[in-house]
Structure 1
Amino acid sequence: MRLPRRRPHPPPVSASSDDHELMAAVAAERVEALRLLHDRHAPWLRARLLRRCADPDIVDDAIQDTFVAVWRGAGHYSPQGEDAAAWLWTIAVRRLASALRRPGGRWIASATLADADARLASAEDGVLLGVEHGDLGGALARLSPELRAVIQATVLDGLTIREASRLLGIPEGTVKTRLMRARARLREELA
């Protein structure tokens, strides 16, 4: 009779474990690692998603869906390919967009260009633009607030023209025009 192979036990995880260690432990189906990852990242994910959605219940659902997806897909995470926080943000913003596409989902209806500019001017967004996008970060920072808001909504957050229109409180045609102008300016800046 042949005995089944024993899996090597991954090292223990703690609050001092880095994100890559936690992701490896989640891939090994260690619930405590998922809990630590949630405790570390859910607060900032919630804060950023609340800037995009007026309904905190939808945001909370998106965060829950995000960590369910992390539990199911942690084996697909590659520490060489991307930062864990960026991977989580990508999942979270897609889960929020999916939730908002369902009946009853609400974009920030009263968002104005000043609100969008204030979001883009936050320290966190500035760091993300500079670090995650290198030369592109500088080019994005030189765009007008109106053009940056459209680029962030459509390109960085992956929203459709209609969703960006609802988010920013401007007509779809205006989103398309600003997106075309922003892309042209970025081509000039990066050429």
Structure 2
Amino acid sequence: MNRAGPDGDAELLRAAADGDRHAFEELYRRFAPWLAARLRTRCADQAVVDDVVQETFLAVWRGSARYRHDGDVAGWLWRIGSRRLIDALRGDGARGRLRQALTRVRHRQEESAEERVLAGVEHGDLGGSLERLSPELRAVLQATVIDGLTTREAAVLLGIPSGTVKTRAMRARRQLRGELA
């Protein structure tokens, strides 16, 4: 099964959800490395990342995660994986793992793929405006807008109170509105 592109991915996912083992294996081969790499930008613990990737695809196989055919398959898998990562980080020792992951993210020298995409958006001056946001404001926007996490989930991921997430999101939106007006 060698389907490519959004329609092929959706067809592959549909076949996998219907119990087609070969389709599931192809889906896993196609998306598991990408999902693991993206999750590693949020968590430095490789064992946790590996578990989350497995849990994500297990949810697809068991049918407990339902694709509604209203978006990109990769985005749908990312949403499942990121939520499962939040759940994993909430478990025993989550504060320590979260602190370790955040320290790694804050101190890495290389930009993540998501940060490069955000910086490269060229609708008006959005890319430049996003780049001019402080790292704290940009992190909140990334967690809540790009990754689709709730305020509470973003707070757990970023290690800050929910009220701080709301305040930073409001400040980021205000700054972006001011620059793009």
TM-score (norm 1): 0.70
Counterpart residue number, 2:16? 26
**Normalized per residue, which structure has more helix?**
2
The partner residue of 2:85 within 96, 101, 124 is 96
> How much has 1:129 moved relative to structure 2?
7.4
Residue identity (%): 49
> How much has 1:112 moved relative to structure 2?
5.0
> How much has 1:42 moved relative to structure 2?
0.8
Pairing of 1:160-171 with structure 2 (within 5 A): 160=152, 162-166=155-159
TM-score (norm 2): 0.74
Change (3 A) 1:136 1:71: farther
Counterpart residue number, 2:59? 69
The partner residue of 1:127 within 89, 93, 117 is 117
Which amino acid in the other structure matches residue 49 of structure 1? L
Moved over 2 A (4+): 15-18, 72-76, 108-119, 121-131, 134-146, 153-157, 159-162, 171-180, 186-191
Which amino acid in the other structure matches residue 77 of structure 1? Y
CA distance in 2 between counterparts of 1:88 and 1:186 reads: 29
Q: Does the 8 Å CA contact 1:66/1:91 hold for their aligned counterparts?
A: yes
> How much has 1:128 moved relative to structure 2?
6.5
> How much has 1:102 moved relative to structure 2?
1.1
Pairing of 1:76-155 with structure 2 (within 5 A): 76-79=66-69, 81-105=70-94, 106-109=97-100, 111-112=102-103, 115=106, 121-127=111-117, 138=127, 140-155=130-145
Q: CA offsets per residue over residues 51-105 of structure 1, 9 Å max, x none?
A: 11121111111111100111233883233x1010000000000010011111133
Counterpart residue number, 1:11? none
Is 1:15 paired with 2:2?
yes
Q: Does the 8 Å CA contact 1:117/1:149 hold for their aligned counterparts?
A: no
Counterpart residue number, 2:46? 56
CA distance in 1 between counterparts of 2:101 and 2:57 reads: 29
Which of 1 and 2 has greater Rg? 1
Paired residues, number: 171
The Cα RMSD (Å) is 3.4
Change (3 A) 1:33 1:125: farther
CA distance in 2 between counterparts of 1:42 and 1:22 reads: 14
Change (3 A) 1:35 1:136: farther
CA distance in 1 between counterparts of 2:113 and 2:63 reads: 30
Local SS of the residue matching 1:107: helix
> How much has 1:135 moved relative to structure 2?
7.5
Change (3 A) 1:66 1:75: closer
